Amino acid sequence: MTGLHARFSLTRSDGFLLSVDLDVPAGATLALLGPNGAGKSTFVDAVAGLTSIEAGRISLGERTFDDGTPEGFVPPEARHLGIVFQDYLLFPHLNVLENVTFGTTNFAAADQWLEELGIDDLRERPVADLSGGEAQKVALARALCRDPDLLMLDEPLSALDATSRVDVRRGLADALERFQGPKVLITHDPTEAFLLADVVHVLEDGEVTQAGTPEQIRLRPRTPYAADLAGANLLHAEADSGRLDLGSSALVTADTTVSGPVIVTIHPRAVSIHTHAPDGSPRNVWRARVDRVENYGDRVRLLTAGVVEMTAEVTPAAIESLGIGVGDDVWLSVKATEVHIDPV
C-alpha cells in the first residue's frame, strides 16, 4: 500500500479556484476540515476523477491519476478508490446487497463487511427504508468490499442526528483503524476531525490555511475560522451522571445522560475570566495563570495553565477593563450547560 499525493489547482466552471498540496501516507488519516463552500467536495471530485485538474499532480503510490493533461487523466472507474460520498448516494433502485456488490464480484468480501458492520440482516432491504446510520454503514461496506487503494469519506456523519452520530462514529473509527491504505476524511465538524484524524488540513475558500496535528490546530489556530471552530477546548474525562473526572480535577456538566469515557468540549467563549473569585452559582471554577495572549482583531484569546489547560475568548475591551496580561493569575469559570460531552 502506498500514499496519496495531491498537489494541484483547478478552477471550477463557476470560477471558484481550489488549490491544495497534501500527502497522506498509507495507514494515516488526513482530515480536510472546512466550512461549507470551502471546496471540500471539489477536492473529492478531483481525487475521484469526476473532475480534472488544471495543473499539478494527483497520484497514489506509483500510479498517477491526473497531471493536468488529457493523456495523464485516469477515469474514475480505473482509479480503484473507496469513497463514501456525502449523503451516501446509495442507488435508490437497488436493495442493500445490490448496492454493496455494485462494484465487485467478490461476494465473500461483501458478506464479511455486511457482517462486521452489523448490517447483515438488512441485505434485502430497499435503501429508502434505511435509517441514516444504516445507510452510512451500507455506503461504507460498498466502498470497502472492493478492497480499494484509498478510503475517502465525505461528511460521513453530517446526515445523522446527534444520537446515532456517536454510535456510527465509533464504527467509523474501527473501520478507519483497520484500513491499511491512505484515508481522507472530509468534514466541517472539528470534533470529528480531531477524533478520527492524524493530520488536519484546514480548507477555507479553496486554500489550505493551516495544516498540522489536531493538537497544533486546536492550540494555535491561525485563522479566525480555525480559531472559531477548531479552537475549542477538548479534554478527556470519565463521565458519571453529570460529574466529569479529569484525573487531577473535576468538572460538572448539565448532560447527565452519558457515562464512561468522554471527550469534553468547551468553547473558549463559554469560559469567563475574573480577577477575583466569582460570586454566584457557577460550579466549575478554578484558578489559572495566563500563559499567552493572542489577538484576532475583534477578539482575544487567552491561553491559561492551571489544573487544566484552557483557552478563553473575550473582547479586547474586556481585557483592557480587567487589566489582564501574560503571567497574571485569574479565576476561570464555566457554566455546567456550556460543558459538552461526547462519548468516545
Site residues (CB under 8 A) for another protein? 45, 48-50, 75-77, 79-81, 83, 85, 87, 89, 91-94, 102-104, 142, 146
Angle made by CA atoms 295, 201, 177, in degrees to the nearest 5 = 130
Query: Could you tell me the smallest distance in angstroms from the CB atom of residue 44 to another protein?
Result: 9
Query: Could you tell me the smallest distance in angstroms from the CB atom of residue 77 to another protein?
Result: 5
For residues 102 and 296, which CB has a smaller minimum distance to another protein in the complex? 102
Cα(first)–Cα(last) distance of the chain, in Å?
A: 29
Contact between 135 and 90 (Cβ < 8 Å): yes
For residues 92 and 280, which CB has a smaller minimum distance to another protein in the complex? 92
Contact between 74 and 67 (Cβ < 8 Å): no
Query: Could you tell me the smallest distance in angstroms from the CB atom of residue 41 to another protein?
Result: 9
For residues 142 and 201, which CB has a smaller minimum distance to another protein in the complex? 142
Query: Could you tell me the smallest distance in angstroms from the CB atom of residue 57 to another protein?
Result: 19
Give the ranges where 118-274 is alpha helix by DSSP (H): 132-144, 162-178, 190-196, 214-219, 224-225
For residues 3 and 103, which CB has a smaller minimum distance to another protein in the complex? 103
Nearest to 164 by CA among 143, 201, 134: 134
DSSP conformational letter for 228: I
For residues 187 and 233, which CB has a smaller minimum distance to another protein in the complex? 187
- Rounded CA-CA distance 335/229 in Å is 20
Query: Could you tell me the smallest distance in angstroms from the CB atom of residue 285 to another protein?
Result: 50
Contact between 150 and 4 (Cβ < 8 Å): yes
